[in-house]
Amino acid sequence: MAENAGTSGTTSNNGNNVGFKEQDQLLPIANVGRIMKQILPPNAKISKEAKETMQECASEFISFVTGEASEKCKKERRKTVNGDDICWALATLGLDDYAVPLKRYLLRYRELEGEQKPAANHDKVAIVDNCNVEDGDNMGPFI
């Protein structure tokens, strides 16, 4: 866990030393604790060990999905990973329960951004190509 974070560089999936401390690649523990606390009753407590465990899991999940999206971008000779790439990666990794609500969130976000930036609204493209997004799909926390 975080107590194992050394000062030497860590190794990426392909064996390259990326020169970061392990804790530099983790989400801030205060943010993780705040997110965890939102779902618990007001008087509930969370141990340091639980926060550190969740911190590592969430950080690893983000790295895993982003790595898959990054590989897609490399194959397509693109340098920027976008929201569509993340949705594609989630679906590719069999995480459709996350991909579908994220697609819907992206659509809604882009609609709202389009209302705020009328000039950017001329080339809107639907992004529901990899996931079946239906009106009845559960949005979870993305409502």
CA distances from 26 to 60, 128, 138 (A): 8, 31, 29
pLDDT tens digit sequence for 88-125: 999 999 999 999 999 999 999 999 988 876 554 444 44
What is the reported pLDDT for 25? 85
Cβ 139 vs Cβ 104: under 8 Å:
yes
Give the pair of three-digit tokens for residue 53: 């465990």
What is the reported pLDDT for 97? 93
Give the pair of three-digit tokens for residue 97: 């329960």
Q: Between these two residues, 20 and 68, which has the higher pLDDT value? A: 68
DSSP state of 130: S
Q: How far apart are CA 44 and CA 25, in angstroms?
A: 28
